Structure 1
Amino acid sequence: MAGLRELKKLQVRHDILSAASDLFAERGFEDVTVEEVAEAAGVSKKTVFNYFPAKEDLVFSRFDERENELIAAVRHRPAGTSVLDSFRASALAYCDQLADAGPGTQRGRVFTLIEQSPVLARRWHQLRNHYLEVLAGELAADAGVDPDDPLPWAIAAALLGAERSIRRAGGSRLREGADPARLAEWLRPQVNRIYDQLAAGLADYP
């Protein structure tokens, strides 16, 4: 029975997110109320808030795994693989995902909403600062240095900046209607060009 309850919760969560995504894409984040999301999902407003404490969470819940991904890129990288190469592999995997994507994908919708909404832009800025702190902490622990050492923070900023530039290049072209397969083919050498440039300074970093 517990398994069925969990499946039902997952379905309700999915229905709420799907309804919110469609409404936000149609009318924008600010012009949609939580009540309207609840009605479209067939649940009460209270149920929406039980799953998503703030309206912004209806957008940013899709980033729930981001922190774990950053941690895994450092802690669980294959033996003998540098942090730089771990992030390069992740960026190349993103290119592979693009090949199966399209301008209406959820990730593309999210960043379009962020660009259009000051509220979401502020939340995204806070999240990016949080990701920087998480990654810098992981790099410091991995290298066995003090968490306040500025070098891991600088390297974390460089890695996240490279990743952001790659996803920005891919996402913006995807939203403009670029063919996903051709876009992925174009982006792969850009990824290698970026990480080759970083390698000059970071190749010896753990």
Structure 2
Amino acid sequence: MPEAMPTPTPTPTPMPGPLPAPVIRAVPGAPAAAPSAAAADPGRPAEGNRQGRRRERRGSGVRERRRLETRDRIVDAAAELFAERGFDAVSVVEIAQRAGVVEKTVFNHFPVKEGLVLSADPPMRSALLHAVATRPAGESVAAAAGTFLVRAMTMLGSPEAAEGVAEMARVVRGSRTLQAREREILGEITAALAAQIREETGAGDGAVEPDLTAAAVTALYGRLLELARDRVLAGVTGPALADELRAAGRRGLSLLQFGLAGYAKRR
């Protein structure tokens, strides 16, 4: 089965950098540069790293700057506590106390506790849908979406991303609540992609192709994310991790593009 990836088409990265630095500051991969971590994590952290957040505040009014500074304190306090004791063992009251605010203030910024780790509207969703919507004529959804995902996930091998990916892995894997929410987010991305495919192709409600295609794409995404977490926790980072993710992604992309007919035939 061929393993060559189709020539990648430039697709804008509407996110701070899917993976330039999934730092635990808000805890899931929050990037700051190219398709890197933010896009790579199903639920991007509520906020990115401190330096990136300071840049975002420049030019804001006094009231808005204060609001964002308060949000930053909450995110940092939560990140520290989650890293120390795990997501499930930390209460919102404790987060508020460490951040120097009242519990209501935390909920004003994050209506649900999970929002401190996983964004309700992860940048990966819009970036993936955009990559599919802007693909050139003649290119399939699987090729466009798969190529985008492989490129984004490979960015998790950047030096800046390693610590964030590891922190995110520990926090999420230590909480059944977050694991369930992450599965929900992947399901929401799958549903959004299936709806876009259905609309574009005019497929009827009974057609299975849009849902199967979307599910295959997000399955590749989820698997590459877990592989990245496994390898980072095992001490593999940088170019070595990027190479592993790229190779695994290309194999997965090959199946997406050319089908499963020739895979794992019984001998």
1:55-204 paired onto structure 2 within 5 Å = 55-61=113-119, 64-87=122-145, 88-105=147-164, 107-201=165-259
Partners of 2:186 and 2:155 in 1: CA distance: 24
1:21-60 paired onto structure 2 within 5 Å = 21-60=79-118
Does the CA contact (< 8 Å) of 1:103 and 1:176 recur in 2?
no
CA RMSD of aligned residues (A): 2.4
Partners of 1:5 and 1:179 in 2: CA distance: 40
SS at match of 1:104: helix
Of Structure 1 and Structure 2, the greater helix share is in 1
Change in Cα spacing, 1:5 to 1:76, as seen in structure 2 (3 Å) is farther
Identical counterparts, % of pairs = 32
TM-score, with structure 2 as normaliser: 0.67
What is the CA-CA distance between 1:74 and the residue it aligns to? 2.1
TM-score, with structure 1 as normaliser: 0.85
Change in Cα spacing, 1:147 to 1:98, as seen in structure 2 (3 Å) is farther
Partners of 2:68 and 2:80 in 1: CA distance: 18
1:133-186 CA-to-partner distances (Å, cap 9, x unmatched) read 111101111222225521100011111111111121112101221132211123
Of 12-21 and 149-158, deviating more is 12-21
Change in Cα spacing, 1:148 to 1:60, as seen in structure 2 (3 Å) is farther
Aligned length, in residue pairs: 201
Q: Which amino acid aligns with 1:20?
A: A
What is the CA-CA distance between 1:195 and the residue it aligns to? 0.7
Partners of 1:98 and 1:130 in 2: CA distance: 26
SS at match of 1:185: helix
